[in-house]
Structure 1
């Protein structure tokens, strides 16, 4: 397999300080500015953000501070927060469109699980409304846009937030010294805005390693191999080792001391996260100029199959479903027949069978995903009936997978 220049992408990260009444910095909000005109990270690729943060942690001064990151409701299920140290992050969420009661209740379960794992949650001032009662116990921070809320409503809003939540109150868009004083008098705990700190922007390049190295890493993790074997690979592939050390040393992990040992990095990240990282790197690196849409489609397939299997199959089989979908276009990504591609990588028998012959539960599920992808109504209906899925479940999994793929795909 020939080597090509590593794929590079540019991440643009901005931070803005959040201070207390004495103007001491207690946290930073991070924004992904990689897409022109996008003001906030609303569910973009956190793995890229974390890697980029490793490059920019010193420049941005975020390593020792609490970090606020904006996420969409859909992105909470994409698994990327698993790459972070929970105690380091505050997950900031917007209100539910239309304040739909069922969605608010459903998200409350997800948010409760996030908090139990160590993340803190921030909402905007809408959370004090009765419709969001299920979210009141989950609010660690309530952020109030002082430019959007009428001045005479600020005092009752603060009072309502104090009664209904135990959250710290953050005054956003504080733009003058007088406004800072007024917000402090009203009882806000924390403050954010241009008068305090203008967002500082840093650009960084993220480099993807070659397919060959990622294939080897995937095989080693799949065995699983001894840490010494994985360490040896990282030592012999500069880009692979470079990316892993960037990830583990990013502010996302919140480590007090920089990790310089590959062995230590592998032990900290763990085999499960290393497995998923390798699978996504392989799908994204697109050696030989394969179309970007191929990698995206593969990720959509993997996530859709994973979602459809949850609650029906064992945890190992759910992971196999993800891998089946992700590697269903491996032949196109590597430019070789599927039989040859599968000789390069160690996969469970059920996955190999699904990819080569379409047999077994995973093979039928892959056929269902393909039918949904190309709008083959007859095949879709037949396989859905065979597997016991209704249209709504499949369509929701497909939509969620599309959102997830937008968040995960590199480049």
Structure 2
């Protein structure tokens, strides 16, 4: 049976903007369809962080128990449904099965049933500016930007969920010397530079060399042998594949407090696009799809303009066109990746339809990308 549920996601961060959980929102016609879609993704379910599963606008019912719920999952229970008999039955089932629950859309004065532990409580901060009386750790939702996050933490919130960190960042400036060095390295690799010249750049920064080898040897690459040096990496992988991993270094070079969530988002976009593009492009172009997604937030991560960044780098035209103008063969894949970060399921459906993709593939790519991004930052 073709699945009828689409998944979207958003990160959950603590006061220091470190990722503490991932929130997966299931947009389906009924709970049975949601359970089927979630069960179909067991192989790629992300395990590095707790996962809050939202049932969207559906009333939670015991039909969800058809899904063999992973150990790291907490099911979101909207406060407005607490009195619903079907939700009460599901809550009892979840408690008996040892599955965690997260209370959502809490407002002061809501009557809470006895015998349930609400470790996390998601609150619309636009309606409840101060989380006094929250029965658990309070997470602000609906924040407009980084300034709104600071205000929420100042008002007593323990963290937040959402995409606020994409907005209200400092104005653009020039690349720092450290970032410029990675760009130089990328250009050397893209132009098939001499290995000795590339190694000379790497030797100037031991931490950079270590991080590069750590990425290449990560589980996400799936190599059968451990790479011991850059020269070894070139002999095993070649320049094209290394370009992808050097791009990761640039994406993860920021030390901004919002960087963890931004980096996770950028890397997840890249891996998502690579996964989705597997049946459309050859291996080399899939690497460029990855770079397009990963670089889509580079201007925010590094605090400079996209135009200035691309002028420094020798990127293929299809990558630059997608990043600068939203055009070209990679642009629909980037739009799809971005649509997975939005509660607007109609936009996601349209983006998937543009590429004639079944929901199962979109959901799988979403979770593959998220799991990959989390594994690199574990």
Q: TM-score range by the shorter chain?
A: 0.3 to 0.5
Kindly indicate which of the two structures has a greater share of residues assigned to helix.
1
TM-score, length basis structure 2 = 0.47
TM-score, length basis structure 1 = 0.44
Larger radius of gyration: 1
